[in-house]
Amino acid sequence: MLTKVIAFIAVAITGSLLLYGVADFPSFGDPNSPANAGVEGGAPSISQYFITESYKDTKVPNLVTSVLADYRGYDTMFETVVVFAGGMAIFAILRVLRSKEEPPKPQSRAETFVHGDHNRIIVGTTCKLVIPVIQLFALYVIAHGHHSPGGGFQGGVLIGASFILLALAADLKTALSRLNEPNYIRLACIGILIYAGFGVLCQILGGNFLDYGVLQPVLFTDGPEMARSHSMLGVEIGVALTVSTIMFAIYANLASRGTLNEGL
């Protein structure tokens, strides 16, 4: 009880300090705030630069994608590495590699059902209808991130969610037979290698790390702008591979206590 009171006091003090700080903010969407209009006599504002110049630089209409994958590509690469490290940490903590003989579980009620497992049939049919649509939409989100909201992280999470849905609707073994453990670890590593490979390729061709403009002779594009646009797509595919497989790996290890032989 005492710890709760102390925690409440700490939270209240921090919250009031944050609210006190918020009072000095410019109002939401204020065009004259320093972040939007720049400081008088100083450097021009970075938001204005992104709004006016990012399409000319990268030929990507969605500024969020161009900022995420090109201007801040280094940051996004290590975000992906953080996701990968999270998955590997859960693997290291939970995964039981020594196979012990476990007593057979008592059959759940759905398996002993006399009238056939109608629950499995209804949920399974719906999943058969829905999972391909989810995966198709995920591919659309990954590939269409240049023009509409979306990108590697969102599409990757959707693909991972489709495998989790399969594991929930049937069981973990069915999902693991589609994407087994060596393969998802391999795919997660390949995703990061794709991202870092784009960076190293730029260095080999004489540019900076992740400076996609120099990839123009490799990608056979019209100019450095289109090379940036296409390499962003490649980078997003790498992010999507890592995120989707890591999401499924986290679920599989959490749901089966690391034994990967039973699910929820």
Partner 1 sequence: MIFSFDIIILIFLVIAAVISLSVKDLLSASMIFGIYGFLICLLWAEMGAVDVAFTEAAVGAGVSAVLLIATVFNTKRRSSD
Partner 2 sequence: MIFVILSAILIVTGLVFFVGSAVGLLRFPDFYSRMHAAGKGDTLSSLLVLLGLAVYQLKDFHGFSEDWPILLVIIKILAISVFILITSPTSTHALMDAGWEDGIKPTIQKGSANHLEEDTKDI
Residues forming the site for partner 1 (CB under 8 A):
4, 28-29, 62, 64-65, 141, 149-151, 153-154, 157-158, 160-161, 164, 168, 247, 250-251, 254-255, 257, 264
Q: Minimal distance in Å, beta carbon 145 to partner 2?
A: 17
Residue 215 · residue 201 · CB < 8 Å: yes
Separation CA 215–CA 227 (nearest Å) = 6
| Shortest distance in whole angstroms from residue 226 CB to partner 2 | 25
Element at 152 (helix H, strand E): helix 152-169
Among 9, 82, 133, 200, binds partner 2 (CB under 8 A): 133
Report the alpha-carbon distance of residue 198 to residue 239 in Å, rounded: 12
Residue 36's contacts (CB-CB under 8 Å, 6 or more residues apart) are: 30, 45, 47, 48
CB of residue 114 vs partner 2: minimum separation in angstroms?
Answer: 5
Does position 110 bind partner 2 by CB under 8 A? yes
Asked whether position 264 contacts partner 2 by CB under 8 A, the answer is: no
- The type of residue at 250 is I
**255 binds partner 2, rule: CB under 8 A:** no
- Which listed option, partner 2, partner 1, none, makes contact with residue 64 (CB within 5 to 8 Å by class)? partner 1
How many residues form the binding site for partner 2 (CB under 8 A)? 13
Q: For binding to partner 2 (CB under 8 A), which residues are involved?
A: 108-110, 113-115, 119, 122-123, 126, 129-130, 133
